[in-house]
């Protein structure tokens, strides 16, 4: 994976992000979810590198990127601050305008990038997500049962204690046969590091505090994503059962929305990289949207 890519640690102001980048063509930023690192994109990045200049960072708080200092209201782990990191990273690499793809928690960063930095984002893709407040406003017994980790991770100290007691028991679905040995070893190192576990949990705490507030303010202001937006979902995951049609939800937040499901479980970049890469290439590589 990542054949011909460079690996570097790049200072984005508050700290350094670990990043791989390579390929040729229009710039494309790929943002991972929890508890992954940028390595989750390896197979997809290799396919897209023939068409795009692909940039894959570890988000702040994840992998080997910097750990932000704890702050009141979890502001240093907010999606807004992570989006600012991404803009600084892409500018450092010489890209003032780019497309962005986010999966899982990374999709919230992609969303915030498109809202806060419309001049920088050409197209955006969100995978397996809807805005946080859309989830919270639909919360019922089933969501509380199946997505309980959102609320457990919002508690202080106890989530870290539970995970650090036996990281591989908590993250028991990590598989080298699914993600590849290099990516597997990378994520095992991440979840085995208590400082990284704290950074990843802070991401969830921010979700229910500062990120929730930012989304409410965005909605109240009438601000929307102006660039073309593609929402993708894994057909074997439970997003539709949880919130309904993601496409209809995202149409409340963006002016130009397309979307469809992909035959995969939740970690689509690892489970079905070929279909995901094809969907991204078709959407991002054409001036006319074909979905």
Q: Which residues are catalytic?
A: 104, 266
Distances in Å between the Cα of 78 and the Cα atoms of 27, 83, 175 are: 24, 9, 29
> Checking DSSP bridges between strand 121-127 and strand 52-57, what pairing results, if any?
unpaired
Give me the long-range contacts of 156-163 (CB less than 8 A, separation at least 24): 159/201, 160/194, 160/197, 160/198, 160/201, 163/191, 163/197, 163/201
Question: Taking CA 206 as the corner, what is the angle to CA 204 and CA 211, rounded to the nearest 5 degrees?
Answer: 115
**Conformation bin of residue 218: beta by default, left when phi > 0, alpha when psi is -120 to 50:** alpha
Q: What is the sign of the dihedral through the CA atoms of 136, 141, 145 and 146?
A: negative
Q: Where are the beta strands (DSSP E) in 61-133?
A: 98-103, 121-127
Structure tokens belonging to residue 268: 């689509």
Q: What is the CA radius of gyration of the chain?
A: 17
CA distance 88 to 104: 22
Q: Tell me how far apart the terminal alpha carbons of the chain are, to the nearest angstrom.
A: 27
Residues constituting the chain:
291
């Amino acid at each position: 994976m990542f054949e011909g890519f460079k690996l570097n640690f790049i200072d984005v102001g508050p700290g350094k992000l670990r990043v791989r980048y390579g390929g040729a063509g229009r710039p494309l930023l790929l943002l991972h979810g929890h508890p992954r690192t940028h390595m989750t994109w390896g197979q997809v990045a290799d396919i897209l590198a023939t068409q795009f200049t692909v940039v894959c960072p570890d988000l702040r708080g994840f992998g080997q990127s910097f750990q932000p200092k704890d702050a009141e209201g979890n502001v240093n782990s907010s999606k807004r601050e992570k989006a600012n990191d991404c803009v600084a990273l892409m500018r450092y690499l010489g890209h003032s305008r780019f497309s962005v793809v986010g999966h899982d928690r990374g999709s919230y960063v992609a969303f915030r990038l498109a809202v806060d930095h419309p001049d920088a984002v050409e197209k955006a893709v969100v995978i397996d997500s809807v805005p946080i407040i859309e989830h919270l406003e639909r919360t019922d017994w089933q969501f509380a049962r199946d997505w309980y980790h959102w609320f457990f991770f919002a508690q202080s100290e106890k989530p870290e204690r539970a995970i650090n007691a036996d990281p591989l028991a908590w993250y028991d679905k990590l598989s080298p046969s699914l993600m590849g040995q290099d990516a597997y070893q990378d994520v095992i190192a991440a979840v085995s590091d208590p400082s990284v576990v704290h950074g990843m949990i802070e991401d969830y705490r921010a979700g229910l505090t500062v990120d929730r507030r930012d989304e409410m303010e965005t909605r109240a202001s009438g601000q929307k994503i102006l660039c073309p937006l593609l929402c993708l979902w894994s057909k074997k995951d439970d997003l539709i059962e949880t919130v309904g049609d993601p496409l209809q939800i995202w149409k409340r937040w963006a002016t130009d929305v397309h979307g469809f499901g992909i035959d995969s479980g939740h970690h689509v970049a690892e489970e079905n990289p070929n279909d995901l890469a094809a969907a991204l290439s078709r959407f991002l590589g054409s001036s006319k949207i074909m979905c």
